[in-house]
Chains A and B, each alone.
Chain A
Amino acid sequence: MKSQVAGGPVAQLVGIAKSFAHNRVLDDVTLTLEAGRVHVLAGENGAGKSTLIKVLTGIEPQDAGDILIDGRPVEFNGPGDARALGIAVVHQELSLVPDLTVADNLMLGVEPRHRGGRLDFRSARENAVAALNRVGASLSPGVRVGQLSVGEQQLIEIARALSEDPRLLVLDEPTAALSQKEAGHLLGIVEELRAQGLAILYISHRMEEIHRLADHVTVLRDGHVADSMPRADMSEDRIVTSMVGRPVNDLYDHGRGSAQGEVRLSVRGLRSGVVQETSLEVRAGEVVGLAGIVGAGRSELCRLIAGFDRADGGEVTVDGQRVDIARAGGAAGADIAMLPESRKAQGLFLGMSIADNVCMGTALAKRRFGGTSPSRLRTAAKPLADRLRVRATSLDQPVGELSGGNQQKVLLARCLAKKPTVLILDEPTRGVDIGAKADIYGLINDIATQGVAVILISSELPEVLGMSDRVLVMHQRRIVAELTGKDMTEEHIVRYATGLVRKQVEPVEVNS
C-alpha cells in the first residue's frame, strides 16, 4: 500500500468541474501530485482552491472529471474513502474539540483500547507524544486544546493528519495563523516529509513559502488553471500576475510622510491577568506595528485597549480624554475601533447580509424610534462597501457566501463606520488574497493620512515592517523593544520576539 519511491504520480486530477447551484466553481482543473514532491496550489480566495481540496478528499463529489490514484480512477463516497487510500488533509479551519485534551484530540476515532473496550490511557498518551514529536511540538498531551494558541492547535491538526500514515498530505494554508517562527518550523517539517517520499499538495499564497517549498506551482483563478509551472520556470512575477490577472507592484509602498501629529492614543500601565503592565502612545496619522510570536500577548493587549476584555488596572486616554475601558465594547464610544483576530468567530454574522454586517452596532441606518429598513441599511453601507471594494452580487448577499478577503473587507467597513480616531487591526490580512491585501493596505494608508492613530498586529514580518512607522515587539506578554528607522529589520524583530535579546528589564516607557 505504501510506496516510498520519489517521482511516481500518486494522485491525478483530470478535468475536474464542479458547480454549486448555478455557480461554476471549478472548470476543467487538471493537476498531478507525485511522491516526494511539493505541489503548491496558489490563487486568490474564491478561486476554487478549497473546493478542489474538498473534491480531492472526498468531501464533495465532482460534477465531471476523474480522480486517479496510482493511475486507476477512483470514486469517493465520502471523506472516509479518500482517507482509506492514504489522502490526509489539514483544513484551514481548525477542527479540534476545544474541551478535550491534546491527547484526546490526537486519538479521536483511533483510541487505543484494552480488551473489553476500556481506553488504554498509557498508549494514548504515548501515541500522542510520538505524534507531537513528529511535528516538533513540545506540548503536554494533558492540556485542554482550548487553552492553546491557534498556532499550537495547527500543529496538533498536522500531527493528527500524519498519524494516519498518509501517502498524500494536503495542507490548506497551514501557516496562515502561525507566527514567523512557527511557520518556519512547519516548512521544515514539510521538507522533511517530502524527503520521506510523501506527496504534498500545499495551498498558499505566501511568496516566501512558494519559493522555499514548491517543486511545481499551479495557479487557480476563477475556477480554472490560470498557469502551471515547474520550479525551473517559476518566478514571483509570473505567479502573482497569473493569480491576480494583472501585475501588482509595490504592495507596501505607503508614501506617507513621517507622522508628527499629536498623541491620540495613550496607554499607561494597562494590565490584566494575561498582559503585564504596558504603556504606549500612538500619534495621529501614525501606524504602529505590533510584532511578536503567537501567544506573546499582542491581541490580549489590544483587546484591553479596545475594551473587549476588562483590564485589572491602568488607563487609556484618547485625545487626552480618559476612556471607560471597563465597559465591554465601551471603547467604541471613545472612538476606538478594533478589527478582531478571528473574523468568523468574533466579528461577522455569517447568515446576515453585507449591509446588516456593516451597519451592526454603529449609528448607521437608524430612523427615529429605532426603526430601520433593508434599503436604508443598503444605502448606509454602500459608500463603505464601495470604498473597500467589496465584491458581491448585492449588498443583500449573506456574508457567509463571500470569500475570506471580502469578509474581512466587510468587517473593516464596520470599523470605519464607527468613524474611529484609533483603529486597531489584528491580523487584518490573514487568509486574505493578494488583491484584497493591496486594498486593505491602501485603506490603512488612507485613514492614517486622515489622522487616525493605527495599531497593526501582524505576524507577517514584511507586512508589519512595510506598513508601520514604528514597530513595538512583544515577548512573553510585554513590550520588549521599540524599533524605528534603520532598526526596523526582520532580524531585529525576530531576535526580540523570540527572547534572544532583552533590551530592557523594566516595562518600557515609550515616548513617541
Chain B
Amino acid sequence: MNDIVAAEHERAVDSSRPTAPKRMRLHAGLSTLADRLGVAIALIVLVVLFALVAPYFLTVVNLLDVARQISVTAILGAGLTFVIMTAGIDLSVGSAVGVTAFAAVSLTLDGAPAPLALAVALLAGFAVGLINGVLVAKLGLAAFIVTLAALTYLRGVTYVGTGGTTMFSTHLSYSVLGQGSVLGIPVPIVVMAAVFAIGWYVLERTVFGRWVHAVGGNAEAARLAGIPVRRVLVTVYVISGLCAGIGGILSSAKLQSAVPDLGTGYELSAIAAVVLGGTSLMGGRGSLIGTLVGAAIIGVLVNGLTLLDVSSFYQQIIQGVVIVMAVGLDRLRTRNAVTEGA
C-alpha cells in the first residue's frame, strides 16, 4: 500500500523540479499526501466499521440520507472555514439560519414569489455577515464577542418575528429545494456540492483566497505586503452570513416551515466539522475539503450509531470523544510532520 502511494507520488512530483534529491522529494510528497488525507483516514475507518456491523449502512439510500443530513451543517462549515482561516470565529451562523428561514417563509406566506423570498433571505444573511465583519474588522472588536452577541439578538429577532410559534405552509413555493431531487440526488446535496465547489475555487484558485490564507497566517505581514486586510476580514464574515442564508433556505424548505428555534446549536456542529477537518483555530491553515470530511465524520457517526440502536444520550458522549480523538490525532500528526528549518 505504501509503495503504491509512494510510486504514484513520485510520478506526480517528477515533473516539478528535477534538481532536488529523490529522497527528499519523495518525503515532501508523502507528507503532503498525509496532510491531504488527514482525518479522511478517520472517516474511512468509521465507514468500514459501520459497514461491517450494520449491513444497511453501506447502501445508496442510507449514504444519500447521511449526505442530506449533513448538508446544512457542511454549508455553514464552508462559510466558517473562511472565517476561521483568518483566526476569527462566527458563532452567529445557527441563529442566522433561524432568521433567514423566517424571512423566506414569512415572505412566501405573504404571497411573495419564491425568487424574491429567497433573494431576501440571502440578503439577510449578507447583512448579518456585513454587520459582524464591520464590527470585527473596522472597529477591532473581538470576533467571539461580536458574533456571540449576534447569536443572541438574531435569535431574539426570530422569536419576535415568528411570535414564538412555528410558521407553517402546506405548499411552500420553494419546498422543492428541501424535498426535490436532481437525477436522483436530493437538492440539498447538490447545493452543498455547489457551495463547496465554488468555495474551494475562491479559497484555492483566486487571489482573494490567497489573501485569506495570508491574513490568517500573519496579519501584520499581510498589511505590509499591501493586502487590504480589513476588506478581507469583512468579506469572510459576509461569506459566512451568505452560507447561513443558504442553510436557512434549505432548512425551511425541508420543514416547509420556520421554527422559532431553527438552527439552535448548528454553529457548534459546524465549528466541530471545521476543526475536525484540520483547520487551525489560530488561522492560516485549513481546507474546505477537510471541512466536508469533518461534517461527514459527524454525519456517519450519528447515522451509524442510530442504525446500531445506540441511544441518543450515548451518541452525544461518543460524538464528543470522537471529536477530541480525531483532533488530538491530527495534532500529533502535524507535530511530527514539522520539519527543521536550521
Contacts and interface: CB of A to CB of B under 8 A. Distances in A.
B322 to A, nearest CB: 27
Contacts of B31: 21
B332 interface: no
Interface in B206-236: 206-211, 213-214, 217-218, 220-227
Nearest to B17: A394
Contact of B342 (A329, A395, A403): A403
A345 interface: yes
A373 B203 CA distance: 11
A332 interface: yes
Given A351-B284, A361-B222, A361-B226, 5 more contacts: A21-B31, A22-B26, A330-B226, A340-B221, A377-B210
Interface in B303-342: 337, 339-342
Given A45-B342, A329-B227, A393-B28, A349 B207 contact: no
B225 A372 contact: no
Interface residues of B, number: 37
Interface residues of A, number: 50
A396 interface: yes
Interface centre among B211, B224, B285 (most CB of A within 10 A): B224
B205 A49 contact: no
Contacts, number: 122
B297 to A, nearest CB: 24
Contacts of A393: 17, 20, 24-25, 28
Contacts of B225: 329, 347, 360-361, 414
B23 interface: yes
A23 B339 contact: yes
Interface string B281-316: 000110000000000000000000000000000000
A50 B340 CA distance: 9
A360 B17 contact: no
A297 interface: no
A25 B340 CA distance: 8
A322 interface: no
A45 to B, nearest CB: 5
A404 interface: yes
B223 A349 contact: no
Contact of B206 (A23, A347, A370, A394): A370
B213 A349 contact: yes
A333 B226 CA distance: 9
B223 A328 contact: yes
B285 A351 contact: yes
A394 B342 contact: no
Contacts of B13: 394
B218 A350 contact: yes
A501 interface: no
A369 B24 CA distance: 37
Given A351-B285, A394-B20, A371 B221 contact: no
Interface in A365-424: 365-366, 369-373, 377, 393-397, 400-404, 414
Contacts of B170: none
A346 interface: yes
Given A348-B221, A397-B28, A372 B210 contact: yes
Interface in A20-45: 20-23, 25, 45
A169 to B, nearest CB: 20
A434 B287 CA distance: 38
Interface centre among A340, A361, A371 (most CB of B within 10 A): A361
Nearest to A46: B342
B16 interface: yes
Contacts of A352: 210, 213-214, 217, 284
B109 to A, nearest CB: 39
A51 interface: yes
A496 interface: no
A356 interface: yes
B20 A370 contact: no
Contacts of A48: 342
Contact of B205 (A340, A348, A373): A373
Contacts of A329: 223-227
Contact of B207 (A20, A50, A332, A372): A372
A330 B228 CA distance: 10
A400 B89 CA distance: 25
Contacts of A50: 340-342
Contacts of B25: 393-394
Contacts of A25: 340
Nearest to A25: B340
A117 B170 CA distance: 69
A401 B339 contact: yes
B284 A349 contact: yes
Given A21-B339, A23-B24, A356 B224 contact: no
B224 A347 contact: yes
Nearest to B283: A351
B220 A346 contact: yes
A366 B224 contact: no
B27 interface: yes
A202 interface: no
Contacts of B207: 365-366, 370-372
A396 B24 CA distance: 13
B221 A394 contact: no
Contact of A23 (B17, B27, B205, B209): B27
A359 B337 CA distance: 26
B102 to A, nearest CB: 34
Interface in A163-211: none
13 contacts: A20-B339, A22-B26, A46-B342, A51-B340, A51-B342, A347-B221, A348-B218, A351-B285, A356-B213, A360-B211, A360-B225, A395-B17, A404-B341
Interface in B259-295: 284-285
A345 B342 CA distance: 17
Contacts of A372: 205-207, 209-210
Interface centre among B28, B225, B339 (most CB of A within 10 A): B225
A351 B221 CA distance: 13
Interface centre among B17, B222, B223, B227 (most CB of A within 10 A): B17
Contacts of B206: 369-372
B342 A49 contact: yes
Given A50-B342, A351-B217, A361-B227, A21 B27 contact: yes
A396 B16 contact: yes
A350 B220 CA distance: 13
B1 to A, nearest CB: 18
Interface string A4-32: 00000000000000001111010000000
A332 B285 CA distance: 27
Interface centre among A349, A350, A352 (most CB of B within 10 A): A349
